[in-house]
Structure 1
């Protein structure tokens, strides 16, 4: 394994770090409140960063998201790249790639995905002729076609209120592209822990197009691949959130004095910070490995779950530790470190409970062993 970034990946991450440091300041984030930073998103797109992931791959995206997480930048970078740019580039039909990729990479279209934490949402897809896609005879390719009408509800979709395009899996794990301004689509804002412009998606016979030229084989297929990419991207974002939080804790404990010496001179403080550092590095390295395996064509399904587990479990420990190391300031909701706390908690919930992820990982291992037996 070699996680050394390429020159292109390093340059993209360096540029992202500069933009986020300059534009995503605590003062600007306070002024934004819960709104998405549309000006920052425009700057990122003009710099070519969302489009760069078609060349730098999932590992390149993870590096960009680390920088976004450090600054808790309120932009739909992960959602647009995972559910838009990378999904269309990998699974879209040639016509879809030609039509959608330019508008996704130049910022004209913001994308998101209605995926949840693992199981597909309760969305029903009906073919143009009215035949429901499912395990019955209508599941045949000729009955499904390239278009469908979707009905169902997804309670929480990140970045939905500022999205133009949603990647929606149906109950059979087929992927559909849906415009938020299409008839039969209702978007209702939802308040969440992190200010990700989330919303509830209600579909009533809403027109959608299949991602790809033709239906794939019965089973996970592209759905599983997009979900794995989303989990890896979430872990990369969490690594940045934790690194940014820990940097604040290091600065605070070096400056704050107690009993005549800096807080970081106390062994208990050092040990707590050291544990948080090790957890942060575990999140980072598992995210890097999973992304590297996806980019190089190696199997990455268990590695994506491993990265998600570390991001959910260890990420929660880190943001709680940093909150604790700030003492009374950690309880101040207006302090910048509180934003990292909220993001870390929200990312952990978005990725899924640790027990749920371990159960899925265990089942995956069992299934693989049975398949090779």
Structure 2
């Protein structure tokens, strides 16, 4: 590692975040200390995703999108578990709210912004309908099975799964995620590679030379450090997040929206950059891959953690969110199936995203 590299913020921010975590752990923090810890948390999230992108650039597409999605999901799971561990009964919906927010942000926010950027640059965007359609079908199946069915099952009062149902949903989610990864990276890898407007496959992305083995392993190490810092600092600031939401008189679901926006913001930037480079398939890989990972990895993790976490685990959505989810699935199918999209599709997805955000703050 060169001296210039050592001075980069992505190198020292994760280390600084760990120092802040060690210094603040187990103490009652005043307001200014919480601000510092919060800034370290945000910096660690950005640094973690940066190092995931370095590793992703080394391994290439579609493996790169997979690395980034898994890194983001690990951060998401860590934030959910830490909030649920300290939140009591009111934290019983944090997992549901965060996962649903992640689906809305990825399928409407990230896809909509990427479509907007790509269409303004190229008028008509071309991508692989085969791979994107399969990914969308996986998202819809996972979301329905884990967020909709609990509302209608009768084995447990309320919007909860029974123990057996939760175990089935967790195993099925993990199996579908593993199947998707196998299809994306091995059996039908060509379905997830970027294409030119004429339908021919794009070559390697030459916007930057791939990192060396030493740089890649350095990023792997810093990625692990950043993930530890994110989970630890999230536990420190979680009481302040909940208190702020309560003081503002906002619904508890806003906490889940905040978590999802926090962990998915860097991935949004990566998807927009890919769309600007005429690699919209990469943007879709990032969006749908993150949604699949968010459900396929978060639900099994939370199901396992629920054994020792206090309070119930409510996964079933209300009628408003189920309508938004159904409309998102329908609109996304109409966007993906033709393999071509314009500015109009981007505007429709962004309208759905803004509706979700507005209704989260004003249900």
Please say which structure displays the higher CA radius of gyration. 1
Q: TM-score, normalised by structure 1?
A: 0.29
**Which protein is richer in helix relative to its size?**
2
- Using CA pairs under 8 Å that are at least 6 residues apart, name the structure with larger relative contact order, 1 or 2: 2
**Which protein is richer in strand relative to its size?**
1
Q: TM-score, normalised by structure 2?
A: 0.29
